[in-house]
Structure 1
């Protein structure tokens, strides 16, 4: 009887945790979005207090211009911070937080290329990938512990929690997103940058630049947690015609971002 009750309870949990991503994929989402948002806010506050924030006005204006054009397509208020860090990286966290490294700003040729990275990272947030990973990892029992652990990044549990959020590389632990998550974020990010009026074709140029930089031995945390360039570019090319149509629609409606590097 006990086993039967446990089975019924388990099935109820699974059914209540079913969700659908923006691309129509079925997800296991058990933790509340509010919990995960709080984790994102705590992690971002911790990063701002422990990592140097750039005071370069040109870099800040450039990153904010690109990010705000992207997030106008998502709604909500987003905070954008540029960190003094020469690694080629950017990230977005639940709770509407975006971080961009100065190394990435130095690498990109134009706003369209930065928009490709920012759109991708925002795609992770819109798809609730952090919640999905945390839900799978915690499996209900340690959810509260994970929320609390974000405030203690020096602990093993804290590092795991930050890694699941997507910023673990900052603290010496890398937990890659799955290939499914990456492809989904690429698809959503491509559409976001196009709907904002950026040139989606520059996303391919960006990954080619990343590939060249990686071969040159530059530290690329962004690349170290993501799948191969070839598969990424192939997916982008498959979705390019739709993205170009979205860009044309954006331009016809007056959305042509003018973000100067």
Structure 2
């Protein structure tokens, strides 16, 4: 059976599904725009110490961890967990070693507690949820050829945590909703444009989806790939296997992927190429 590898799929959907929806009246938004309060992201940007990137963060770690708690509990209740003690021990051992690499990088505090679940399904996937909750499916452990490749998967998930990607993606989604609603109000207020309101509204929604949300998602995936390689290197794993992993994923998912601009994840070929360049540039190996 062929699977498409969508590392972080639960990360993408579970939290954003619970993102706050903007429910302001037309008058409220107009007043908020006048007061400068509708767009709190002006003062919501911060610099991520690990990546050096400026991020829009309207939500704190505790807030998003609380939002994800129910989704995590539901996932554990509805999805069988492995009874294979050897498999679980292997995953936890690789996880601990990879996390120690992140600790050595100074990106994770020593003694940080994690809830790691190994699910007994064929899904070729792994994900992380806010609150240090990590899910690994049996399918991905069977698809990877060695511990180094599985470390690449787990390092990638750690990179999502360090990059604060869940909080940033929720913040961008919320800000985009406000921007779209403000645009719709402007259209409705124009005698000329109001005739085309529904069409313009649809175009605005598509522009946000394809021009803001999905590019942010792909950026996060590539950043998590690079951070994962850093942690692999610090942990003593073979970083070249991260490239091999995406070559495998490309061969497994050919004909199943949408065009990259329509996807939350970059094309596997691009991921392999970017990791190869990153590993060479960092001097971790020569590929």
TM-score, length basis structure 1: 0.71
**Which structure 1 residue ranges, 4+ long, deviate > 3 Å from structure 2?**
2-8, 139-142
Distance 1:80 1:3, change over 3 A: closer
Query: Aligned ranges for residues 1-261 of structure 1 at < 5 Å?
Result: 6-10=34-38, 13-21=40-48, 22-72=50-100, 73=103, 74-75=108-109, 76-139=112-175, 178-215=217-254, 225-241=264-280, 242=282, 244=284
CA–CA separation in structure 2 for the residues paired with 1:141 and 1:106: 40
Structure exhibiting the larger radius of gyration computed from Cα positions? 2
- Deviation digits for residues 71-104 of structure 1, max 9, x if unmatched? 2222311121100110210111111111110011
> In structure 2, the residue corresponding to 1:82 is in which secondary structure?
strand
Give the C-alpha shift of residue 141 in structure 1: 9.3
The superposition leaves residues 17-53 of structure 1 with CA deviations (integer Å, 9 ceiling, x where unpaired) of 1022332221111012111112233322111011111
Q: Which is further off, 74-83 or 37-46?
A: 37-46
Query: Closer, same or farther in 2 for the Cα pair 1:9/1:34, shift >3 Å?
Result: same
Alpha-carbon distance in structure 1 between the residues aligned to 2:265 and 2:229:
16
The alpha-carbon deviation at position 65 of structure 1 amounts to: 0.7
Count of residues paired in the alignment: 206
Asked if the contact 2:148/2:241 (under 8 Å) is kept, the reply is yes
Question: Does the 8 Å contact 1:190/1:243 carry over to 2?
Answer: no
Question: How has the CA–CA distance of structure 1 residues 243 and 30 changed in structure 2, closer, same or farther, with 3 Å as cutoff?
Answer: farther
Gaps of 5+ in 2: 1-29, 179-213, 257-262
- Over 3 Å counting, the alpha-carbon distance change for 1:69 and 1:10 in structure 2 is same
Aligned alpha-carbon RMSD (Å): 2.7
- Higher RCO (Cα < 8 Å, 6 or more apart): 2
Q: Is the 8 A contact 1:108 1:206 kept in 2?
A: yes
Answer yes or no: is the 8 Å Cα contact 2:169–2:217 preserved in 1.
no
CA distance change for structure 1 residues 40 and 103 in 2, over 3 Å: closer, same or farther? Answer: same
Q: Aligned equivalents of 1:216 and 1:243: distance in 2? A: 34
Which range moved further: 31-40 or 86-95?
31-40
8 Å Cα contact 1:90-1:99 kept in structure 2: yes
Cα distance 1:141–1:228, how it changes in 2: closer, same or farther (>3 A)?
A: closer
Preserved contact between residue 177 and residue 226 of structure 1 (Cα < 8 Å): no
How has the CA–CA distance of structure 1 residues 83 and 185 changed in structure 2, closer, same or farther, with 3 Å as cutoff? same
- Ranges in structure 1 where 5+ consecutive residues have no aligned partner: 143-174, 218-223, 246-261
1:233 Cα deviation after fit: 1.2
For 1:57 and 1:233, the matched residues in 2 are separated by 32
Aligned partners of 1:18 and 1:27 also within 8 Å: yes
TM-score (norm: length of structure 2)? 0.65
